[in-house]
Structure 1
Amino acid sequence: MAETFPVKPKLRSTSSKTTPTPESKYWKSFKIPKDIESIPSKSLNYPINSLSFSPIAPHDFVATHSASFTSFSGQTLEPKFTVSAFSDAAASASFRCDGKLLAVGDLTGTVHVFDAKSRIHLRRLKGHAAAARHVCYPRAADKFHLFSGGDDSVVKYWDVTTEKCVFDLLGHKDYVRCGDASPVSDDMFVSGSYDHKVRVWDVRVSNAGSVMELNHEKPVESVIYLPSGGLIATAGGNYVKIWDMIGGGKLLYSMESHNKTVTSLCMGKVGRVKGEEADQYRILSVSLDGYMKVFDYAKFKITYSMRFPNPLLSVGFSPDCLTRVIGTTRGTLYIGRRKGKVESDHLGGDQLGLGVVEDEPQRSVLRPSYFRYFHRGQNMKPSEGDYLIKRPKKVKFSEHDKLLKKFRHKEALVAVLNRKNPENVVAVMEELVARKKLLKCVSNLDTEELELLMGFLQKYSTMPRYAGLLTKLANKVVELRAEDIRSSEQLRGHIRNLKRDVEEEIRIQQSLLEIQGIISPMLRIAARR
């Protein structure tokens, strides 16, 4: 017997769903832990101006809000303490390279230095004539200096031990709102300003001014060094731009994927994914449009996008790649933790480390007395050189397919009409046309079955996707079953409704043709201009 297949609709629309990539699965794995669901939804009542992670495990992080900052545990993600030692709003925070000190700038222009563990207020660095919007420690070994940028358009380089400003780095013409320290040199910094300029500073030649100037062409909201130290990323307006420092400040790429102002950037890292040989760095950007986007600057493309219900103001990503935190203008923190990871103390003493261990189920030893022993290897994945033989899937037949298989054509047509699925009905009709049995089936229908067919024709004959077949079939039905239609009030009602719908459709088509006749000459004239 020849193999048979189910009847499939020819007019089925294609699905818009796409297969998720390994990288999108990675970013989706950052979920809210069940035991701290109250923390991400907890409002701090004021905009989260900045987020800063400690470079030392367990990577605690700090959020600045109103005239306070709150420290969160990197292990439990619970709030540890809140410090309200400012006379005005806290604007920016930065951990020292060893994680022991925390610098915070406020809107009075003062930079405060705290002991990150005991919360003791150690230093007050006063010198800005306006708000100190950004502070940053060097990344490598320098523990005695930091730099700050303020609304007085000045970048200051501080000696923390003496509480004195070593250099005033001048050059900006408007508010300095962001900056970053070089990952390869403790002497180099970059700052961004509302004068649309990004300046690179080297404190070894501070008297010569900035060593490089870049024009972002929009007020700069965020600037970061990329891990190599030879590239920087800037954000302003709805643009994120990549610049080549080694190449003399050459613009490599300009990304315009946000609809509103990009407010913050940070670096993230993707572990080994399919098709990649090593860890891959990504730029995370957040915007007032509520989107977080992940940008692969090696391939210049967006690899992931996520929507949040509030405008986003700040973003942070932990150095161990386990925690992602986003702050909003409404004081909400969205904290995501990687799934399938567990934490462990592996350093001993009073030093805590974060060990990343994959969850592995405990497997018992297989023995011939176990049923599972005879099914071993069922879930093994084939290697590249294996020849894979797949077990054929059992084809499921619906009722009308089974009837068509038995050549019971009229019963198949009636069965699919009762299901009231227009795509399947038209598919069965096309199959009957191919078998040259459709008109014979129509001739053999009794009065009730004919009413079912006429109701379907009246409802769907004027739909463009079905009209080609159904209008012709309606004419044939009227010719073949004219006497039955005259003798049945219900059938005559279907005919009247069908005639009314066809006349209305013809009227609409004529109106559209008239409109097309009016517009076409105008379009031709516009094209010539």
Structure 2
Amino acid sequence: MASNSFQRLSLVRSTKFDQLDRNDPYWSFQFPTTVKEDNNISHVAFNPHSPHELLVTSGFHMRIFSRQSAKIGKTFTRFREKCYSGNWRNDGNLICAGSEEGVVRVFDKGTLARAPLREFAAHHDCCQVTTFTADGKCIVSGADDGKVKLWDVSRGDKVSEMLVHNDYVRAGAAAPNDPNIFCSGGYDNTVNMLDMRANEITMSFNHGSFVESVAVFPSLSLIVSAGGPIVKVWDTHRKKLLTTISNHTKNVSSICFNDSHTKLLTAGLDKRVNIFELNDYSRSATVEFDAPVLSMALSNGDRTLAAGTAGGYLFVRHRNEHIVKNVPEVEKHLYKELEQGGSYHKKPNAEAPFTYKVEKKDVGQDPVKLDNETTHKRKAHENRYNKLFRQFEYKKVLSMGLGYNIRRKRPEVLVAIFEELHRRNVLTKTMASRSEAEVAAILRFLGRYLTDLNWQPILIVVMEKVIELYSQKAARSESLLKLMKALNYKVNQELRLIKECNNCIGMIESLTSRSAELPNTRLPQVRRKSEVLEASNLETSMEA
């Protein structure tokens, strides 16, 4: 193999959450406060100006809560039906909200009056998307009729109207720096970027499932869409998909950026809020809640995280400043940049195909270039296992992978080594003539990670090779025979679980088909305690 055609090993993460990296201390939220509402909390938003009050949209009212103590400050109840999407204007003085009857209302935060300042008979169907434009002069609304409309706040007139979706409009985000750009997402699986001034769709992307939430990068270079358990990042310059994030097990309901736009936060019905780096889209932290998360917001400076959940629970958590103070001095500058919202730079040696660099500079200012300026190329760091593969040292690379540090602390590296050896058709030759300790290490590794869905195909191949090469040797060794029996028990247990899952799927399909034929017939409830426990254990096994 030529050196210029050598491909580095691609590491595949485990599906188990406990194998992920530890949470970044910066995202350690403590001091939780829980507030109970009467209905599901469909939307939460922090005031962009101090003291950064929290606006909560739930059922037939909106409420303003204190960020620090979560005490109720003001309640808006002038809604005939359910209200949706309560958002602040950039100056923090006005609030807009849609409603189920299609009326868009504008409220004043400062006065004692709770009656709306403006009412727009915007749509004939349910309006679940409302937001102010970047200049604060207009409101954009989207409804179940597939239309997006622009309204002038001061005059109360409709500025423009566009039919952009063939189904419900359930997601929308205005460009932070351009009052004419709006991004919408609908249940027709599309994400559209709209030019409200030209009244046209500038670009459209197919998400592949119902779009529940969208977010727009300040430079308009990225659009992030969420639908189903998948989050997709779109490159608007190249007009194509940049990456796909699939760290949720259930539908993703809300997404947003942090204050410095260096992190992406995603909330889902799996009761988790995941935080990802924007330079390589790796997960840096996870915040867990007690109920499915329907809405999420992060305050200025990333100091407070608010989550609205199903069942009407509002969770307000504050970041622990003491944990950040205990960070080593070498890493403190990273947290300082996040606090101040400074520049966003790529991590050194990070393997990312395309990244963005955003700095706070004056628009139109060109960087200063010096004459006779020289640049030095840095040689990219290459891991040891890649060097050994480049030198065709297959025996050494497998021995290195079976070491304790790789096998227990970085199992994805050993899995990648197995895959590369299998791809080069040298797996059998490399695994032959191994010592008893190395064979025992392979058997322990198989017993630990054989049930992982991402690694199962290659580990099954490795298990077949081990049985083929060392079955006779295991019969003469008591330790190897014990490990073989344990692996056999693990495989039989996995087969029984698969069989039970298939039986459960068959029963569910028969019940659903039967209920479709008899819509008025109710299924009998499980009464016995043993059956309840068995069903819950089966559901837990299926989710795993």
TM-score scaled by length of structure 2: 0.55
Task: Indicate the residue corresponding to 2:71 in structure 1.
Answer: 78
- Are 1:338 and 2:319 counterparts? yes
TM-superposed deviation, 1:468: 4.7
136, 157, 160: which one pairs with 1:164? 157
What are structure 1's unaligned runs of at least 5 residues? 1-15, 34-39, 270-278, 342-355, 358-463, 472-504, 520-529
> Cα gap change, 1:283/1:17 in structure 2, threshold over 3 Å: closer, same or farther?
closer
Amino acid at match of 1:232: I
TM-superposed deviation, 1:74: 2.9
Amino acid at match of 1:129: H
Larger Rg: 1
TM-superposed deviation, 1:117: 1.9
Task: Indicate the residue corresponding to 1:25 in structure 2.
Answer: 25
Task: Indicate the residue corresponding to 2:110 in structure 1.
Answer: 117
Cα deviations by residue, 1:342-369 (Å, 9 ceiling, x for unpaired) = xxxxxxxxxxxxxx99xxxxxxxxxxxx
CA distance in 1, matches of 2:136, 2:102: 22
- Are 1:182 and 2:182 counterparts? no
> Cα gap change, 1:158/1:25 in structure 2, threshold over 3 Å: closer, same or farther?
same
- Are 1:241 and 2:232 counterparts? yes
CA distance in 2, matches of 1:17, 1:93: 36
Matches within 5 A, 1:345-364: none
Query: Contact 2:148–2:161 (CA<8 Å) still a contact in 1?
Result: yes
Task: Indicate the residue corresponding to 2:122 in structure 1.
Answer: 127
Task: Indicate the residue corresponding to 1:292 in structure 2.
Answer: 273
> Cα gap change, 1:19/1:202 in structure 2, threshold over 3 Å: closer, same or farther?
closer
What are structure 2's unaligned runs of at least 5 residues? 1-16, 323-338, 341-473, 496-544
Moved over 4 A (4+): 16-21
State the identity as a percent.
31
Matches within 5 A, 1:265-414: 265-269=255-259, 281-340=262-321
- Are 1:102 and 2:95 counterparts? yes
Worse overlay, 318-327 or 105-114: 318-327
CA distance in 1, matches of 2:136, 2:219: 22
TM-superposed deviation, 1:127: 2.3
RMSD over aligned CA atoms reads 3.3
Task: Indicate the residue corresponding to 1:367 in structure 2.
Answer: none
Query: Contact 2:149–2:158 (CA<8 Å) still a contact in 1?
Result: yes
TM-score scaled by length of structure 1: 0.57
Query: Contact 1:58–1:75 (CA<8 Å) still a contact in 2?
Result: no
TM-superposed deviation, 1:298: 1.2
TM-superposed deviation, 1:77: 2.9
CA distance in 2, matches of 1:43, 1:145: 33
CA distance in 2, matches of 1:20, 1:219: 30
Task: Indicate the residue corresponding to 1:224 in structure 2.
Answer: 215
SS in 1 for 2:171: strand
CA distance in 2, matches of 1:83, 1:135: 16
CA distance in 2, matches of 1:220, 1:17: 29
Query: Aligned pairs, how many?
Result: 323
19, 27, 39: which one pairs with 1:46? 39
SS in 1 for 2:117: strand
Task: Indicate the residue corresponding to 1:495 in structure 2.
Answer: none
SS in 1 for 2:302: coil
Cα deviations by residue, 1:66-87 (Å, 9 ceiling, x for unpaired) = 1001101234332212221101
TM-superposed deviation, 1:161: 1.8
> Cα gap change, 1:190/1:338 in structure 2, threshold over 3 Å: closer, same or farther?
same
CA distance in 2, matches of 1:91, 1:18: 38
Cα deviations by residue, 1:98-148 (Å, 9 ceiling, x for unpaired) = 111000111110111000122442000112010110101123xx2321101
TM-superposed deviation, 1:302: 1.5
Task: Indicate the residue corresponding to 1:256 in structure 2.
Answer: 246
> Cα gap change, 1:54/1:280 in structure 2, threshold over 3 Å: closer, same or farther?
closer
Task: Indicate the residue corresponding to 2:85 in structure 1.
Answer: 92
- Are 1:210 and 2:191 counterparts? no
SS in 2 for 1:26: helix
Cα deviations by residue, 1:42-91 (Å, 9 ceiling, x for unpaired) = 21021110011111111112010010011012343322122211011111
Query: Contact 2:35–2:315 (CA<8 Å) still a contact in 1?
Result: no
Query: Contact 1:258–1:287 (CA<8 Å) still a contact in 2?
Result: yes
TM-superposed deviation, 1:19: 11
Query: Contact 1:157–1:165 (CA<8 Å) still a contact in 2?
Result: yes
TM-superposed deviation, 1:334: 1.1
Amino acid at match of 2:129: H
58, 63, 67: which one pairs with 1:65? 58
Query: Contact 2:78–2:115 (CA<8 Å) still a contact in 1?
Result: no
CA distance in 2, matches of 1:18, 1:164: 55
> Cα gap change, 1:137/1:254 in structure 2, threshold over 3 Å: closer, same or farther?
same
> Cα gap change, 1:19/1:89 in structure 2, threshold over 3 Å: closer, same or farther?
closer
TM-superposed deviation, 1:321: 1.7
CA distance in 2, matches of 1:152, 1:112: 18
Amino acid at match of 2:27: W
CA distance in 2, matches of 1:229, 1:258: 26
Amino acid at match of 2:116: H
